[in-house]
Structure 1
Amino acid sequence: MFRRIAAAVSAAILSVSLVSCSMTEKTAKEVVYSTEVPPKMLFLGDSIAAGYGLEGYTDTDNYHCRSYSNILKDEYAEELRGKCGHTMVNKAVSGATSNDLIEQLRSGELDGDLADCDAIVVSIGGNDLLGIMLDLLGSMGISESGSFDSGNIDFFSAAALLLSIDGDANKALEQFELNIKTIVAELSGRTEGTIYIQTLYDPLEYYTKFKRVTEFSSEKIGRLNEMITENSSCGYKVIDVAADFKGRAGSLTNIAAFDIHPNAQGHELIAKDVDAAFRSTGFTYTTTEYGDRKLSSEGRIAIAGIIAGIALLAVVGLALLIRKKKEK
């Protein structure tokens, strides 16, 4: 009897040793860390965000020019190295209007990127007014070289066109205000990340000789920026690029070459503006961390069984010993 019990306990001890790995476990817990910059950011909108006009830019590749999105990508990849890592996605489309961005959002093509994004930066609105602005320049006789031929201009036709352009610009602005609310609603329904919308700088301030141009541009772009600021209560933060570009269109854009887009220096400044907005917000990331290995519930049960078996063996052995003594 004693031998059979001893054999059973020995077998139990052996089986426990064979499955000892399953008897222990590591405790896992999620730990939240703070960071000043977003682990994943997404850039949307128009040619300003895409990096149009910069060296390395193509209409199919937003990632090989030194645009402000790529400047920040490089900085944040280094800053977050060894922590959570960094991801930048740029789905801006050169020539996109606010209507185009709404269609892009509703198509679902951005849903995957938006789902796990920490920050979404939008540059939109310039193309809503761009064609109208260029028509104004043409009505004033301003060529792509920036020259002005007053001898060939029909002032009566120009005045009539200006009135028409003014009406078109006002209609575009009314639609933009509706669209900006729709854009934010579409974004908010697809992401829990922080949404940022940039104001639009005024490149036509460069034409200081043409008061009619600068006044018109200042009024319309100024109104567009007011709309962006006034509607921020819909659920986004404003990055006021326009304020930092004011009075500096000649040095921060390519307008001297009849190109409204930011130059390399302009993109550097926008990068600083976006970075400041990020750091004033703050972000978090979560990691799963494991503690020291300890007994699992199965392990505790198995060990309790061994102890009980040993105790039983001791009791039976004692009983057999006492019995033998009595028989003597």
Structure 2
Amino acid sequence: MFFKNMFSILLVTLLVGCSGLPFLNGKESAEHSKTNITRSLKKEIPDDFIPTNLSVVSVGDSLTQGVGASNEQEGYIPYLSAYLETNRGIKDAHFSNYGVRGNRTSDLLSRLQDDQIKRDITNADAVVITIGGNDIMKVVKDKFTNLTMGDFSKASVSYEKRVEKIFRTVRQYNQEAEIYFVGLYNPFGKWMSAFSELDIIMDDWNEIGMEVTNGDPNAYFIRIDDIFSASDENLLYKEDYFHPNDRGYELIAARIYDEMKEKTVETLYAKGAMNGVMNDEEVDE
């Protein structure tokens, strides 16, 4: 019954790429979240600390491209860049955006063979990935006349293999960069309770993403579904109620930063401190 009811809406949005998911209290205001992040950055940094540049490669689907953001902003990227650059230890946060609306895991695997993407990942300090929403939409499109929960379970097996290959490919190019894999969210959950089964599907597919991520000691799963399910704010783009709007992207960026500040930023601190030691030694000589 659920699957028959959801066709009319899901098929309208089939061509719309989406991927993302969980942590952050959606009721938190933009200023409040920004204040908390700024406070967390006020660590004791030595006066002779040398700020370092940060290189981040963002790959994936429409969530990386920034569909739904105003003024053609690149989704979460401007917000994440701003958060990072309020950190005194970071001189410049440079992002390479390789998000393409509608991309599935198979498309991303093909695009990872691009020479420019290879070079950028090789030189990156961190890689952020959004992918998977369009893989789920493909199941709906292919099976819309007789869609069952089993169709999603079957497709998830191949999805897991492709995500694993995405991770292996990134690691072929760069063994040291942190990988941040952003989960999936149910855009229909708040305004159409009949789509509650999608929560089960998203949970299952997010579990896959989490398991693959946990298999890499330097990779981190970023849940964002709770951002959209728990908030009283409207976090969806008003033209499709599918993609995040500016506020939605801001909260996603804050969630990613919560993890990056503990991993990538700390790594940069260590690099900057080491550079300071090396420079002191050169002066002494």
* Distance of aligned partners of 1:185 and 1:200 in 2 relative to their CA distance in 1, 3 Å threshold: same
Q: Partner of 2:188 in structure 1?
A: 204
* Higher fraction of helix: 1
Q: Partner of 1:269 in structure 2?
A: 251
Aligned length: 226
Of 139, 155, 161 in structure 2, the residue corresponding to residue 178 of structure 1 is 161
Deviations 1:244-301 (Å, cap 9, x if unpaired)? 32244972223x654311111111110110110001212223546264486xxxxxxx
Deviations 1:212-267 (Å, cap 9, x if unpaired)? x322x11211110011112223212111112332244972223x654311111111
Larger CA Rg, structure 1 vs 2: 1
Q: Partner of 2:228 in structure 1?
A: 245
The answer (yes or no) to whether the contact 2:79–2:253 under 8 Å persists in 1 is yes
* Distance of aligned partners of 1:166 and 1:79 in 2 relative to their CA distance in 1, 3 Å threshold: same
Deviations 1:29-77 (Å, cap 9, x if unpaired)? xxx9698x971111111101211021222xxxxxxx1621111223334
Of 186, 211, 214 in structure 2, the residue corresponding to residue 233 of structure 1 is 214
Q: Give the partner amino acid of 1:278.
A: M
- The within-5 A match list for 1:134-145 is none
Deviations 1:285-327 (Å, cap 9, x if unpaired)? 3546264486xxxxxxxxxxxxxxxxxxxxxxxxxxxxxxxxx
Structure 1 length as normaliser, TM-score? 0.61
The answer (yes or no) to whether the contact 1:207–1:214 under 8 Å persists in 2 is no
Following the alignment from structure 1 to structure 2, what is the Cα–Cα distance between the partners of residues 75 and 237?
18
Q: Partner of 1:289 in structure 2?
A: 279
Q: Partner of 1:310 in structure 2?
A: none
Instruction: Give yes or no for the alignment of 1:85 onto 2:99.
Output: no
Structure 2 length as normaliser, TM-score? 0.69
Q: Partner of 2:69 in structure 1?
A: 54
* Distance of aligned partners of 1:133 and 1:93 in 2 relative to their CA distance in 1, 3 Å threshold: same
Following the alignment from structure 2 to structure 1, what is the Cα–Cα distance between the partners of residues 180 and 161?
17
Following the alignment from structure 2 to structure 1, what is the Cα–Cα distance between the partners of residues 244 and 81?
18
| Unaligned segments of structure 1, at least 5 residues | 1-31, 58-64, 140-160, 295-328
* Distance of aligned partners of 1:33 and 1:44 in 2 relative to their CA distance in 1, 3 Å threshold: farther
| Unaligned segments of structure 2, at least 5 residues | 1-47
The answer (yes or no) to whether the contact 1:120–1:194 under 8 Å persists in 2 is yes
Per the TM alignment, residue 107 of structure 1 is displaced from its structure 2 partner at its CA by: 3.3
**Secondary structure at 2:179 match in 1:** strand
**Secondary structure at 1:111 match in 2:** helix
Per the TM alignment, residue 120 of structure 1 is displaced from its structure 2 partner at its CA by: 0.7
Q: Give the partner amino acid of 2:184.
A: L
The answer (yes or no) to whether the contact 1:41–1:120 under 8 Å persists in 2 is yes
Per the TM alignment, residue 110 of structure 1 is displaced from its structure 2 partner at its CA by: 1.0
Q: Give the partner amino acid of 1:74.
A: A
Q: Give the partner amino acid of 1:73.
A: S
Q: Give the partner amino acid of 2:207.
A: E
The answer (yes or no) to whether the contact 2:83–2:257 under 8 Å persists in 1 is no
Following the alignment from structure 2 to structure 1, what is the Cα–Cα distance between the partners of residues 155 and 120?
29
Q: Partner of 1:123 in structure 2?
A: 130
- The within-5 A match list for 1:155-166 is 161=145, 163-166=146-149
Q: Partner of 1:62 in structure 2?
A: none
Instruction: Give yes or no for the alignment of 1:44 onto 2:41.
Output: no
Query: Bigger CA drift: 180-189 or 170-179?
Result: 170-179
Following the alignment from structure 1 to structure 2, what is the Cα–Cα distance between the partners of residues 201 and 133?
16
Following the alignment from structure 1 to structure 2, what is the Cα–Cα distance between the partners of residues 182 and 78?
35
Following the alignment from structure 2 to structure 1, what is the Cα–Cα distance between the partners of residues 154 and 232?
26
**Secondary structure at 2:102 match in 1:** coil
